[in-house]
Structure 1
Amino acid sequence: MRINSLTYNFLKIKFLGLFFFALFNQLNAQEASNFVDTTSIRIGEQINYKINIKLDSLDEINFPKAKDSAPFELINEFKVDTNYLDKKFIISKQFALTFFDSGTYYIPSQKLSLLDKEIELDSFKVTINPVKIDTTKQGLYDIKPIMKSNTKFDFLFWLYILIFIIVFCTFLYFKNHILSFFTINKLEVEYLTPYEKAVTELSKIKDLNYLSEIDIKTYYSDLTFVIRNFIEEKIIDNALECTTKELIQKLSLLKTSKKLNFSNSTLKNIEDVFSRADLVKFAKYEPDTQSASTDLETLTKELEKIKLILPEPSEEELEKNLKIQEDLRRKRLKNRNNKIAIYSLLSLFLIYLTASIIYGFTYVNDKIFQKQNLIFLESDNWVSSSYGAPPITISTPEVLIRNTDSLTFSVVEASSKSEFSFNNIKDPLYITLTNFKLTENSSSIKLQDVMVSSIETIEKLGVKNIITKFEKFQTPNEAEGLMIYGSADFPVDKPDQFRKSKYKIFGFINNQDYKQIFISWEENDNYIVEIIDRIINSIELVKNKTN
C-alpha cells in the first residue's frame, strides 16, 4: 500500500514537470519585439513603427488598430510580411505615424492577441520638435482660394460636341441634296419640250391606271387634252378651243398646203379617237377597257409620227426656250432664297428660344444687344492696378485715367493731390480714386469730416436727394477705413433729368496720406451688384511704414 502511494506521487510530479516544461517551451517559441526608426522628429515628419514576432508555426495574430496609436496619427498601415529563418517564422508589420504639435509624447504600449493570449509590447518616448521660421526671409502668403477641379464633367461642352457631330453627319448624309439646293445652274432647271411634256403626261395616264381609278369620261378628257395641248404649242395656236371637226380641217389644210406632211392614217386615227372622246363626254358613250387602252397607244404612236415631220426649231423658238429656262431658273432661285430666309429665321428663333430656356430671356436679350454692364461682368480684361504712393490697389473694368484738368474732389488741408477716374458722374457707372498728401499741421483731422466734404462736392455737381449712412470698412488686407453709402438722384446728360443711383465712398487716413474711392452706379440693373462687389473686394491699401 505504501509502494502504491509513492508510485502515484511520483507519477503526479512527473506529469506536472512535463506540463511546465511544455508551457516553457511554448512561451519560448513566441518572441515579440517592437521598435521605431527614430525618437526625435519635426512637426509632420514620419515615424516608422515596426512589430516583429517569431513563431514555430503560423498562428492567427491580432495586430493593434489605428486608434491604439493615439495621440499619434496613423499615416499608413503596411501589409503583413512573413519570412522563414532558422526554422522559425518571422512575422512583421509596419506602421507609419506622425504628429502635428511640438512637445514630448509616448507611443503607447501595444497589445497583441496570439493563441488566445495577450502579449504587451514596450512604449516609446518621442520628441516632436517645432519648425523654425525666419519671417524676415520666409515669404508669407494668404490662404489660396478653392480651385475648381479640371476633371469636373462639363455638360454644356459635351452637349455642343454632340450637336456638332450630329450636324456634321447629317451634312455628309444629305451632302448631294444640300449642294444641289445651293447650286442652281441652267442645265439643272427641269424644262421639258412640248413633245417631252406630252410623252410624260401620256405615261402618267398609263401608269396611274385611269380605267380602274376614275371614270372613263375623265380618262378621255385627259387623253385628248394632252394631244391638243401639244398641237397648240407646236402647230396650231388655238387647238384647245377648236372642235374635233375644226381641228382635223386645219391639220388637213396644213397637209394640203404642204407645210406639214401628215399621213392620211395619222389624221384618220386622231379624228377617230377624238370623235370617240366626244361621244364619251357628251353622249355618255362607254367604250370597253380594251378600246380605251388601244386609243391611248394609238395617240402615243401618232404623237411620235407628228414629231418626226415637224421642222427643226427656229432661232426665235430656241431663244424663247432659253428665256423660259432662265425664267424657271430665276423662279427656282427665288424659291430657294425664300426657303433659306425662312429656315434661317426659324433656326435663329429655335436657338434663341433654347438659349432663353437654359439661361433666361433677360440674359439672352442683354447678350444679343451687348448690354454694357454684362460685357464688363463677363470680361477677362479687368485691370488691376496701383495708384498713388503709398499705393492703393483696385481692380476695375477699364483702367482709371489720370485727371490732368480740374479735380472732382478736394481737401483744404492737402498739400498735393492726384485723381484717377473711369467715366463721369453722369454715367451709369462712375469710379474716382483720389490721393491727398495732407499738411504737417493736419494731424488732428477727422476722417469723417473729410469724407463729408465729398458729399458736399457731389451736391454742387447736381446730385439731389442724398441719403447718407456711415459704416466702418476693412479691406481684404485688413486696412481699416470709413465707408459712406446710400442712394441719390444723379444727373444725366439730358437737362433736368435724373437717374436713381446708389453710391459708396471709401476713405483711409494713414499718417499724412488720405485716400478716397468714390463709386456710383445705376439702380435696378441685373449685373451691377456683382460688378460693384468685385471692385470693392479688390481694394487693398499699402500702409505707409513709420520708423
Structure 2
Amino acid sequence: MQKNYSVISACDNLLRKVLPILLVLALPWAAAGQSTPPTLTWSTDTTRIRIGEQIHLGLEVRAPKDALVDFPELRFQSDSMEVVGRSKIDTSYKRDEAIYRITYRLTSFEKGKYLVPAIEVKAGESILTTDPFQVQVSTVEVDTLRQARYGIKDIRTDRYTAGEVFRKYYWILIALAVAALLAWEIWRIVKRRRENRLPPEMLLSPYERAKFRLDRLDREKLLEKGQVKDFYIALTDVIRLYLDEQYGIPAPESTSDQTLRDVRKLPLTREQYGKLRDLLLDADLVKFAKMFPSAPENERYRQYTEELVESLRPAEAPQDTPQAQQQQQRKEEEKHVGD
C-alpha cells in the first residue's frame, strides 16, 4: 500500500514539473492559430487648399489574407466637396497579412470650411472607420495695387443723332442693306446645296445623331480590337457633341471640369450628374493616364452614355404623320361637300 502511494506521489511531482513546460511550448502554436484583427490607417497631404486644387486622402488596411476588403465609392451629400478620382487598389503581402492601399482625390470649387465625414471600410466581418476632418478652401488672392493703370483719355465728342447719321451716310446705309440682302440670298442658296450634300447623319435631330453615333460605335467593336482609348474618345464625343448640338454647351472644346460646371443648368438629377462626372473623369484617366478599366466598367459607361442621352432628350412637339395628314385632308373634303 505504501509502495503504491510512493508511485502516485512521484507521478504527481513529475506532472507538476512537466506541465508548465508543455504549456510554455504550446503558446507559439496557439498564438499562430489566432489571426490579427484588421486595422485601418489614413492620411492626407494637406487640409488647406485653394479653389480647384486637390487633396490626396490615402487609406491603408491591414487584414488577414483570406479577409475580403471593400473600399467605398466615396460620395458627398453636398456639392461643396467633390471626389475627382481614385487610384487603383495597391495590394502587398507580409507573412499571413495582406496590405491594401488606395488614394482618393478630393477638391472643391467653393470657398469655405467643409467637413469630410468618417469613411467606412469593410474588412471581413469588421467595419473600420476613419476620423472626420475639416478642409479649409480659400480663393486666389489678387493684389489690386499692382494692377496696370491706364492714362487719362481725351474728352469724347457728342455722338451724331440718328437723323444726322442718315443724312451723312445714307448712301452707305443703302449699300449695306443691299449687301445684306444679297448675302442672305447667297446664304440660302449655299445652305440648300449643302443640305443636299450632307451625310444622312447631319439630317437627323441632335438626339437621333447621338443614337446613330452610339450604334456606329457598337458596330466598330473597338474594345474587341483592344482600342480602349479610341473607345472612350468616341464614347465621350457622343455626349459632348450632343450637349453642344442640343443645348449649345461648348463641351467638345471644354475640359471635363468646365463641362461639368456648364451642365449644372440642365435638368439632371444628382444620380445622372454623378454618372456624367464618372464617365468624363474616368475617360480622362484612360486618355491621359493610360488607365485600363475592366470589361464591366466599359459596359457600364456605355450604358451611362445611352441613359444620359435619353434623360436629356427634350420633349418633342407632335409631328404631322402621313396618317394625320390623310385624316386632315379627308375632313377638309367632307367640309367642302357639306358646303
Give the TM-score normalised by the residue count of structure 2: 0.37
Bigger radius of gyration among the two: 1
More helix, by proportion: 2
More strand, by proportion: 1
